[in-house]
């Protein structure tokens, strides 16, 4: 049986771990603090709209305590924490280990690959509403749980290996897709989560108002259009109108859900605002893209965060 290591047991990592554990897979979670203590004491508590309520007996430890080698490693930390996983990935990876980064920020696969050049680091993205709702407790909301992953063109992966991973995820109830252009798909996810998180934080609303005509939806559409133009200038080959795609995804989310960046800003915690807002603006400026909606959102959030 293949061994799965989940690095970062937050809403995303905890949901992946919970679904895999429910399917009988060998899963170990990397966590810390009271969250780790609760998982070790009572099991991982998964509260899922798709799977129900479960306490799952999964292995859990700190990065320093982990021993052995994993076959598949899902990296589910925040974008600003990438450097912190370098040592763990190096020691937990064997010759055939595949690392699948599942982050909101674009370009993380190649960035991690530079940190651990001897490890095969793929790339991936996820569509889910999941969050830590208490120590050891993960809440997955709504009916959307889609994981997209794939190798970059220069990477040599054993034929059938990606399909084996995808099959295991599908058996666990996760909609898994192997990408034929992971650079495109991770950019599309970045642009979606950027528009969603920035709109929610700017207007201080959950997803409900974004699903109906009004100022919030107009902001979401404006951000989506501007990031779409960035992608076009980068040579991203879209298979459908990205604005239409973003709207289809947003309309499927639980109306009460919010993005993790918005939650972190509201709590005064470190957030992914650099990667989801300011990095997008910087890239657009380098490519000569007019970004009035992004600039307006950035100005408002800067002012609010300085209060």
Which residues sit opposite 28 in a β-bridge? 5, 59
Of 145, 147, 144, the residue nearest 177 (C-alpha): 147
Nearest to 72 by CA among 12, 170, 161, 140: 161
* Nearest residue to 282 via CA among 224, 273, 199: 273
Contact partners, residue 171, CB within 8 Å, separation at least 6: 23
- For the domain spanning 3-180, the CATH number is 3.40.50.720
pTM of the complete model: 0.90
Q: Tell me the pLDDT tens digit for each residue of 196-246.
A: 999 999 999 999 999 999 999 999 999 999 999 999 999 999 999 999 999
- Name the token pair of 244: 């239409």
From residue 133, alpha-carbon distances to 72, 136, 279 in Å are: 26, 8, 29
Alpha helices by DSSP H, listed for the chain, are 11-22, 33-42, 86-92, 108-115, 161-171, 182-203, 215-234, 242-252, 260-267, 273, 279-286, 292-305
CATH topology of domain 184-305: 1.10.1040
Spatial distance between the Cα atoms of 78 and 201, rounded to a whole number of angstroms? 17
Residue 214 CB neighbour total at 10 angstroms: 12
Residue 287 DSSP class: T
Residue in the structure block whose two tokens are 């979606």: 192
Q: Are the C-beta atoms of 102 and 7 separated by less than 8 Å? A: no
Domains 3-180 and 184-305 are alike in CATH topology: no
Residues of the chain with pLDDT under 50: none
Return the number of other C-beta atoms located less than 10 Å from residue 274's C-beta: 14
> Angle at CA 163, nearest 5°, toward 158 and 169?
130
List the structure tokens of 205: 């609303």
Neighbours of 205 (CB within 10 A): 17
Q: State the pLDDT at residue 138.
A: 97
Beta strands 137-150; 123-134: pairing state: antiparallel
* CB-based contact 35:102 (threshold 8 Å): no
Q: Where are the domains of the chain?
A: 3-180, 184-305
Residue 307, pLDDT score: 65
């Amino acid at each position: 049986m293949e061994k799965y290591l989940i690095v970062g047991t937050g809403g995303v990592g905890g949901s992946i771990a919970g679904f895999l554990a429910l399917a009988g897979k060998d899963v170990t979670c990397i966590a810390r603090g009271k969250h780790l203590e609760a998982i070790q004491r009572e099991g991982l508590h998964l509260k899922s709209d798709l799977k129900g309520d479960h306490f799952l007996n999964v292995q859990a430890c700190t990065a320093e305590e982990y021993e052995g080698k994993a076959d598949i490693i899902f990296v589910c930390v925040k974008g600003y924490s990438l450097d912190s996983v370098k040592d763990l990935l190096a020691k937990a990876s064997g010759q055939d280990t595949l690392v699948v980064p599942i982050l909101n920020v674009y370009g993380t696969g190649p960035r991690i690959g530079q940190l651990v050049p001897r490890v095969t680091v793929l790339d991936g993205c996820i569509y889910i509403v999941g969050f830590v709702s208490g120590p050891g407790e993960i809440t997955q909301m709504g009916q959307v749980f889609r994981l997209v992953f794939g190798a970059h063109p220069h990477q040599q992966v054993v034929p059938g290996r990606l399909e084996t991973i995808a099959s295991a995820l599908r058996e666990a109830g996760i909609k898994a897709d192997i990408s034929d252009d992971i650079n495109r798909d991770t950019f599309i996810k970045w642009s979606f989560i950027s528009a969603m998180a920035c709109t929610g934080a700017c207007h201080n609303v959950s997803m409900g108002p974004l699903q109906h005509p009004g100022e919030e939806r107009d902001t979401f559409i404006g951000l989506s259009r501007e990031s779409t133009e960035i992608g076009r200038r980068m040579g991203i080959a879209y298979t459908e109108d990205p604005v239409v795609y973003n709207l289809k995804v947003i309309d499927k989310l639980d109306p009460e859900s919010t993005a993790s960046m918005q939650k972190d800003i509201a709590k005064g915690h470190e957030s992914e605002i650099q990667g989801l807002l300011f990095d997008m603006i910087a890239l657009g400026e380098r490519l000569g893209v007019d970004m009035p909606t992004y600039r307006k959102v950035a100005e408002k959030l800067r002012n609010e965060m300085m209060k």
